Chain A
Protein backbone atom coordinates (compact mmCIF):
# COMPACT_ATOMS: atom_id res chain seq x y z
CA UNK A 1 0.00 0.00 0.00
CA UNK A 2 1.41 3.37 -1.04
CA UNK A 3 1.98 5.65 1.92
CA UNK A 4 0.19 8.99 1.46
CA UNK A 5 1.92 11.98 3.00
CA UNK A 6 -0.22 14.90 4.13
CA UNK A 7 2.52 17.41 3.46
CA UNK A 8 3.65 16.06 0.08
CA UNK A 9 0.51 14.52 -1.43
CA UNK A 10 -2.49 16.26 0.11
CA UNK A 11 -1.59 19.82 1.10
CA UNK A 12 -0.22 20.77 -2.37
CA UNK A 13 -3.72 20.18 -3.79
CA UNK A 14 -5.07 23.18 -1.88
CA UNK A 15 -4.75 25.69 -4.75
CA UNK A 16 -6.31 23.59 -7.49
CA UNK A 17 -9.13 22.66 -5.09
CA UNK A 18 -9.55 26.30 -4.19
CA UNK A 19 -9.84 27.35 -7.84
CA UNK A 20 -12.44 24.69 -8.47
CA UNK A 21 -14.43 25.59 -5.38
CA UNK A 22 -14.29 29.33 -5.91
CA UNK A 23 -15.56 28.86 -9.45
CA UNK A 24 -18.59 27.03 -8.07
CA UNK A 25 -19.28 28.98 -4.87
CA UNK A 26 -18.19 32.40 -6.21
CA UNK A 27 -16.90 33.21 -2.76
CA UNK A 28 -13.27 33.02 -1.62
CA UNK A 29 -13.97 32.48 2.08
CA UNK A 30 -16.50 29.75 1.45
CA UNK A 31 -14.11 28.14 -1.02
CA UNK A 32 -11.28 28.13 1.54
CA UNK A 33 -13.54 26.53 4.14
CA UNK A 34 -14.51 23.87 1.62
CA UNK A 35 -10.86 23.25 0.74
CA UNK A 36 -10.06 22.75 4.42
CA UNK A 37 -12.89 20.28 4.83
CA UNK A 38 -11.88 18.48 1.65
CA UNK A 39 -8.29 18.11 2.81
CA UNK A 40 -9.36 16.79 6.23
CA UNK A 41 -11.77 14.30 4.65
CA UNK A 42 -9.13 13.24 2.16
CA UNK A 43 -6.56 12.69 4.92
CA UNK A 44 -9.00 10.64 7.01
CA UNK A 45 -10.00 8.62 3.95
CA UNK A 46 -6.41 7.81 3.02
CA UNK A 47 -5.90 6.44 6.52
CA UNK A 48 -8.96 4.21 6.12
CA UNK A 49 -8.40 2.87 2.61
CA UNK A 50 -6.04 3.00 -0.32
CA UNK A 51 -7.01 5.62 -2.91
CA UNK A 52 -5.78 5.06 -6.47
CA UNK A 53 -5.90 8.66 -7.61
CA UNK A 54 -5.72 11.07 -4.69
CA UNK A 55 -6.07 14.19 -6.82
CA UNK A 56 -9.12 12.93 -8.69
CA UNK A 57 -10.72 11.82 -5.43
CA UNK A 58 -10.00 15.21 -3.84
CA UNK A 59 -11.48 17.09 -6.81
CA UNK A 60 -14.66 15.00 -6.67
CA UNK A 61 -15.05 15.56 -2.92
CA UNK A 62 -14.36 19.28 -3.31
CA UNK A 63 -16.89 19.66 -6.12
CA UNK A 64 -19.56 17.78 -4.20
CA UNK A 65 -18.96 19.87 -1.07
CA UNK A 66 -19.12 23.06 -3.12
CA UNK A 67 -22.37 21.98 -4.75
CA UNK A 68 -23.81 21.10 -1.32
CA UNK A 69 -22.74 24.50 -0.09
CA UNK A 70 -24.49 26.46 -2.83
CA UNK A 71 -27.52 24.21 -2.48
CA UNK A 72 -27.71 25.04 1.25
CA UNK A 73 -27.24 28.70 0.43
CA UNK A 74 -30.20 28.56 -1.94
CA UNK A 75 -32.27 26.87 0.76
CA UNK A 76 -31.38 29.67 3.14
CA UNK A 77 -33.34 31.94 0.80
CA UNK A 78 -30.22 33.77 -0.32
CA UNK A 79 -30.52 34.14 -4.04
CA UNK A 80 -27.30 33.02 -5.64
CA UNK A 81 -28.37 34.66 -8.88
CA UNK A 82 -28.87 37.98 -7.12
CA UNK A 83 -25.46 37.68 -5.47
CA UNK A 84 -23.81 37.25 -8.83
CA UNK A 85 -25.64 40.16 -10.39
CA UNK A 86 -24.87 42.33 -7.39
CA UNK A 87 -21.19 41.74 -7.96
CA UNK A 88 -21.15 42.52 -11.68
CA UNK A 89 -23.90 43.09 -14.16
CA UNK A 90 -22.09 42.66 -17.41
CA UNK A 91 -25.12 42.20 -19.63
CA UNK A 92 -26.51 45.66 -19.06
CA UNK A 93 -23.31 47.65 -18.57
CA UNK A 94 -20.43 45.95 -20.42
CA UNK A 95 -18.32 49.10 -20.86
CA UNK A 96 -18.47 49.91 -17.20
CA UNK A 97 -17.43 46.40 -16.31
CA UNK A 98 -14.44 46.44 -18.63
CA UNK A 99 -13.30 49.55 -16.81
CA UNK A 100 -13.64 47.73 -13.53
CA UNK A 101 -10.69 47.74 -11.17
CA UNK A 102 -10.70 43.99 -11.35
CA UNK A 103 -9.27 43.20 -14.77
CA UNK A 104 -11.03 39.94 -15.28
CA UNK A 105 -14.22 40.77 -13.44
CA UNK A 106 -16.44 40.59 -16.49
CA UNK A 107 -14.90 37.29 -17.61
CA UNK A 108 -15.43 35.82 -14.16
CA UNK A 109 -19.04 36.86 -14.37
CA UNK A 110 -19.38 35.39 -17.86
CA UNK A 111 -18.12 32.07 -16.57
CA UNK A 112 -20.17 32.33 -13.38
CA UNK A 113 -23.32 32.65 -15.47
CA UNK A 114 -22.71 29.31 -17.14
CA UNK A 115 -24.50 26.25 -15.77
CA UNK A 116 -22.40 24.52 -13.10
CA UNK A 117 -21.37 21.53 -15.21
CA UNK A 118 -20.26 23.70 -18.12
CA UNK A 119 -18.44 26.05 -15.75
CA UNK A 120 -16.60 23.26 -13.95
CA UNK A 121 -15.70 21.43 -17.18
CA UNK A 122 -14.38 24.67 -18.68
CA UNK A 123 -12.43 25.46 -15.52
CA UNK A 124 -10.79 22.04 -15.45
CA UNK A 125 -9.97 22.08 -19.18
CA UNK A 126 -9.02 25.66 -19.98
CA UNK A 127 -7.56 26.75 -16.68
CA UNK A 128 -6.22 23.54 -15.15
CA UNK A 129 -5.32 21.97 -18.52
CA UNK A 130 -6.71 18.54 -17.70
CA UNK A 131 -7.58 15.78 -20.17
CA UNK A 132 -11.18 14.82 -20.90
CA UNK A 133 -10.58 11.53 -19.10
CA UNK A 134 -9.42 13.24 -15.92
CA UNK A 135 -12.31 15.69 -16.01
CA UNK A 136 -14.80 12.86 -16.54
CA UNK A 137 -13.43 11.00 -13.51
CA UNK A 138 -13.53 14.09 -11.31
CA UNK A 139 -17.01 15.15 -12.38
CA UNK A 140 -18.29 11.58 -12.38
CA UNK A 141 -19.73 11.88 -15.89
CA UNK A 142 -18.76 10.34 -19.25
CA UNK A 143 -16.05 11.77 -21.49
CA UNK A 144 -18.61 12.56 -24.17
CA UNK A 145 -20.64 14.54 -21.63
CA UNK A 146 -17.48 16.46 -20.72
CA UNK A 147 -16.91 17.32 -24.39
CA UNK A 148 -20.52 18.43 -24.81
CA UNK A 149 -20.33 20.65 -21.72
CA UNK A 150 -17.06 22.21 -22.83
CA UNK A 151 -18.40 22.79 -26.35
CA UNK A 152 -21.53 24.52 -25.05
CA UNK A 153 -19.56 26.62 -22.58
CA UNK A 154 -17.15 27.79 -25.27
CA UNK A 155 -19.97 28.59 -27.67
CA UNK A 156 -21.65 30.77 -25.05
CA UNK A 157 -18.39 32.50 -24.22
CA UNK A 158 -17.68 33.14 -27.89
CA UNK A 159 -21.10 34.72 -28.39
CA UNK A 160 -20.75 36.91 -25.31
CA UNK A 161 -17.23 37.98 -26.21
CA UNK A 162 -18.38 38.90 -29.72
CA UNK A 163 -21.34 40.72 -28.23
CA UNK A 164 -19.02 42.77 -26.05
CA UNK A 165 -17.13 44.04 -29.08
CA UNK A 166 -20.35 45.22 -30.74
Chain B
Protein backbone atom coordinates (compact mmCIF):
# COMPACT_ATOMS: atom_id res chain seq x y z
CA UNK B 1 0.00 0.00 0.00
CA UNK B 2 1.27 3.43 -0.91
CA UNK B 3 1.42 5.87 1.96
CA UNK B 4 3.07 8.73 0.06
CA UNK B 5 0.11 11.05 0.49
CA UNK B 6 -0.01 10.44 4.23
CA UNK B 7 3.75 10.85 4.54
CA UNK B 8 3.62 14.15 2.67
CA UNK B 9 0.68 15.28 4.74
CA UNK B 10 2.51 14.31 7.91
CA UNK B 11 5.58 16.24 6.87
CA UNK B 12 3.46 19.29 6.17
CA UNK B 13 1.79 18.78 9.54
CA UNK B 14 5.13 18.94 11.38
CA UNK B 15 5.94 22.12 9.43
CA UNK B 16 2.61 23.64 10.52
CA UNK B 17 1.37 23.93 6.95
CA UNK B 18 -1.73 21.73 7.08
CA UNK B 19 -5.26 23.04 7.35
CA UNK B 20 -7.92 21.71 9.72
CA UNK B 21 -9.36 19.26 7.18
CA UNK B 22 -5.94 17.75 6.44
CA UNK B 23 -5.24 17.42 10.16
CA UNK B 24 -8.54 15.60 10.53
CA UNK B 25 -7.46 13.18 7.75
CA UNK B 26 -4.24 12.47 9.65
CA UNK B 27 -6.13 11.85 12.89
CA UNK B 28 -8.51 9.47 11.12
CA UNK B 29 -5.62 7.64 9.46
CA UNK B 30 -3.60 7.20 12.64
CA UNK B 31 -6.59 6.11 14.66
CA UNK B 32 -7.24 3.05 12.50
CA UNK B 33 -5.93 -0.40 13.36
CA UNK B 34 -3.45 -1.10 10.53
CA UNK B 35 -0.99 1.76 10.72
CA UNK B 36 2.30 0.84 8.94
CA UNK B 37 5.26 0.25 11.21
CA UNK B 38 7.32 3.19 9.98
CA UNK B 39 4.49 5.57 10.94
CA UNK B 40 3.43 3.82 14.12
CA UNK B 41 5.60 6.08 16.30
CA UNK B 42 3.21 8.94 15.61
CA UNK B 43 -0.02 6.98 15.93
CA UNK B 44 -0.12 7.30 19.69
CA UNK B 45 0.06 11.08 19.46
CA UNK B 46 -2.85 11.37 17.04
CA UNK B 47 -4.92 8.93 19.09
CA UNK B 48 -4.12 11.02 22.13
CA UNK B 49 -5.23 14.20 20.32
CA UNK B 50 -8.51 12.57 19.33
CA UNK B 51 -9.23 11.03 22.72
CA UNK B 52 -8.25 14.14 24.64
CA UNK B 53 -11.22 15.93 23.17
CA UNK B 54 -13.43 13.63 25.23
CA UNK B 55 -11.74 14.64 28.45
CA UNK B 56 -14.31 16.33 30.63
CA UNK B 57 -15.01 17.58 34.15
CA UNK B 58 -15.89 15.11 36.90
CA UNK B 59 -19.44 13.82 37.23
CA UNK B 60 -20.19 15.76 40.41
CA UNK B 61 -19.01 19.04 38.85
CA UNK B 62 -22.54 20.25 38.09
CA UNK B 63 -23.86 19.58 41.61
CA UNK B 64 -20.83 21.24 43.23
CA UNK B 65 -21.16 24.16 40.86
CA UNK B 66 -24.87 24.50 41.64
CA UNK B 67 -23.97 24.78 45.35
CA UNK B 68 -21.42 27.48 44.59
CA UNK B 69 -23.92 29.36 42.45
CA UNK B 70 -26.54 29.31 45.19
CA UNK B 71 -23.92 30.58 47.66
CA UNK B 72 -23.10 33.39 45.23
CA UNK B 73 -26.78 34.26 44.93
CA UNK B 74 -27.10 34.19 48.72
CA UNK B 75 -24.23 36.67 49.00
CA UNK B 76 -25.88 38.98 46.50
CA UNK B 77 -29.26 38.90 48.27
CA UNK B 78 -29.46 41.94 50.56
CA UNK B 79 -31.34 41.23 53.76
CA UNK B 80 -33.15 44.24 55.20
CA UNK B 81 -34.43 44.45 58.79
CA UNK B 82 -37.63 46.48 59.17
CA UNK B 83 -37.43 49.26 61.78
CA UNK B 84 -40.44 51.28 63.02
CA UNK B 85 -39.70 54.98 62.65
CA UNK B 86 -41.67 57.39 64.95
CA UNK B 87 -43.55 60.31 63.44
CA UNK B 88 -41.20 62.85 65.02
CA UNK B 89 -38.16 61.16 63.53
CA UNK B 90 -39.79 61.06 60.13
CA UNK B 91 -40.49 64.81 60.35
CA UNK B 92 -36.96 65.56 61.51
CA UNK B 93 -35.50 66.16 58.04
CA UNK B 94 -38.32 68.59 57.28
CA UNK B 95 -37.76 70.44 60.55
CA UNK B 96 -34.03 70.57 59.92
CA UNK B 97 -34.63 71.98 56.45
CA UNK B 98 -37.03 74.61 57.82
CA UNK B 99 -34.49 75.61 60.46
CA UNK B 100 -31.76 75.95 57.86
CA UNK B 101 -34.04 78.08 55.63
CA UNK B 102 -35.03 80.31 58.56
CA UNK B 103 -31.42 80.75 59.63
CA UNK B 104 -30.36 81.54 56.08
CA UNK B 105 -33.12 84.10 55.65
CA UNK B 106 -32.29 85.78 58.98
CA UNK B 107 -28.58 86.02 58.30
CA UNK B 108 -29.19 86.97 54.68
CA UNK B 109 -31.70 89.67 55.65
CA UNK B 110 -29.36 91.14 58.23
CA UNK B 111 -26.48 91.15 55.79
CA UNK B 112 -28.64 92.69 53.08
CA UNK B 113 -29.85 95.43 55.43
CA UNK B 114 -26.28 96.21 56.44
CA UNK B 115 -25.22 96.51 52.84
CA UNK B 116 -28.26 98.36 51.53
CA UNK B 117 -28.83 100.73 54.51
CA UNK B 118 -28.29 104.50 53.69
CA UNK B 119 -25.47 106.38 55.38
CA UNK B 120 -26.38 107.88 58.78
CA UNK B 121 -27.54 111.48 58.30
CA UNK B 122 -25.45 114.29 59.81
CA UNK B 123 -28.48 115.67 61.66
CA UNK B 124 -30.29 114.69 64.79
CA UNK B 125 -33.92 115.11 65.53
CA UNK B 126 -34.48 117.25 68.60
CA UNK B 127 -38.19 117.67 68.36
CA UNK B 128 -40.76 116.39 65.97
CA UNK B 129 -40.44 118.22 62.68
CA UNK B 130 -37.44 120.28 63.73
CA UNK B 131 -33.94 119.38 62.55
CA UNK B 132 -30.97 121.25 63.91
CA UNK B 133 -27.41 121.12 62.77
CA UNK B 134 -25.32 119.20 65.28
CA UNK B 135 -22.82 121.99 65.73
CA UNK B 136 -25.69 124.35 66.74
CA UNK B 137 -26.85 122.20 69.62
CA UNK B 138 -24.67 124.02 72.11
CA UNK B 139 -25.97 127.38 70.93
CA UNK B 140 -29.55 126.14 71.12
CA UNK B 141 -29.00 124.94 74.67
CA UNK B 142 -27.46 128.24 75.62
CA UNK B 143 -30.33 130.10 73.97
CA UNK B 144 -32.80 127.92 75.81
CA UNK B 145 -31.02 128.57 79.08
CA UNK B 146 -31.03 132.29 78.41
CA UNK B 147 -34.67 132.15 77.50
CA UNK B 148 -35.50 130.22 80.64
CA UNK B 149 -33.44 132.61 82.78
CA UNK B 150 -35.22 135.56 81.25
CA UNK B 151 -38.55 133.87 81.85
CA UNK B 152 -37.60 133.13 85.42
CA UNK B 153 -36.54 136.75 85.90
CA UNK B 154 -39.80 138.06 84.48
CA UNK B 155 -41.76 135.71 86.76
CA UNK B 156 -39.82 136.83 89.79
CA UNK B 157 -40.27 140.49 88.76
CA UNK B 158 -44.00 139.90 88.37
CA UNK B 159 -44.16 138.25 91.80
CA UNK B 160 -42.40 141.22 93.43
CA UNK B 161 -44.80 143.74 91.77
CA UNK B 162 -47.78 141.71 93.01
CA UNK B 163 -46.41 141.67 96.57
CA UNK B 164 -45.76 145.44 96.40
CA UNK B 165 -49.36 146.02 95.28
CA UNK B 166 -50.65 143.82 98.10
CA UNK B 167 -48.62 145.74 100.67
CA UNK B 168 -49.90 149.01 99.37
> Hey, which bits of chain A sit against chain B, CB under 8 A?
11, 14-15, 18-19, 22, 28, 32, 35-36, 39-40, 104, 107-108, 125-129, 131, 147, 150-151, 154-155, 157-158, 161-162, 164-165
Q: Are B68 and A19 in contact (CB under 8 A)?
A: no
**Across the interface, do B61 and A32 meet the contact criterion of CB distance under 8 Å?**
yes
Q: Which residues of the partner chain A approach B13 to less than 8 Å between Cβ atoms?
A: 154
Give the chain B neighbours of A128 by CB distance below 8 A: 53
Give the 10 A-B residue pairs with the shortest CB-CB distance, closest first. Answer: A151-B16, A15-B56, A107-B48, A104-B48, A165-B41, A127-B52, A126-B49, A18-B57, A158-B14, A150-B16
| Pairwise interchain contact B44-A40, C-beta atoms closer than 8 A | no
Q: How many A-B residue pairs have CB under 8 A?
A: 66
- Cross-chain pairs A/B with CB under 8 angstroms, 9 sampled: A35-B57, A36-B68, A107-B44, A128-B53, A129-B24, A154-B14, A154-B15, A154-B16, A161-B41
How many Å from the CB of B77 to the closest CB on chain A? 15
Given known A-B contacts A36-B65, A150-B16, A158-B14, A127 and B53 have beta carbons under 8 A apart = yes
B69 close to chain A: CB less than 8 A: yes
Taking A36-B68, A154-B13 as contacts, is the C-beta distance between A129 and B20 under 8 angstroms?
A: yes
B65 partner residues in chain A, CB cutoff 8 A: 36, 39
Given A39-B65, A151-B15, A154-B13, A129 contacting B23 (CB threshold 8 A): yes
**Set of chain A residues within 8 Å of B16, measured between Cβ atoms:** 147, 150-151, 154
Per the bound structure, the CA–CA distance linking A39 and B8 in Å amounts to 42
Cα A22 to Cα B58 in complex, Å, equals 12
Enumerate chain B interface residues (CB-CB to A < 8 A): 13-16, 20, 23-24, 41-42, 44-45, 48-49, 51-53, 55-58, 61-62, 64-65, 68-69, 72
Q: In the bound complex, how far is the Cα of B69 from the Cα of A126, in angstroms?
A: 33
Main secondary structure of the interface of A (DSSP, over half): helix
Q: How far is the CA of A128 from the CA of B53 in the complex (A)?
A: 6
Report the separation of the CA atoms of residues A108 and B41 in the bound assembly, to the nearest whole angstrom: 16
In the complex, which of the residues B13, B16, B44 has the most CB atoms of chain A within 10 Å of its own CB atom?
B16
Report the minimum CB–CB distance from B100 to chain A (whole Å): 40
Which residues of the partner chain A approach B64 to less than 8 Å between Cβ atoms?
36
B51, B57, B61: the one within 8 Å of A104 (CB): B51
Given contacts A107-B45, A129-B24, A161-B45, contact A40 B72 (CB under 8 A): yes
Beyond A126-B49, A127-B52, A129-B24, 11 additional contacts (C-beta under 8 Å) are: A18-B55, A19-B52, A19-B53, A19-B56, A32-B57, A127-B49, A151-B16, A157-B45, A161-B45, A162-B41, A165-B41
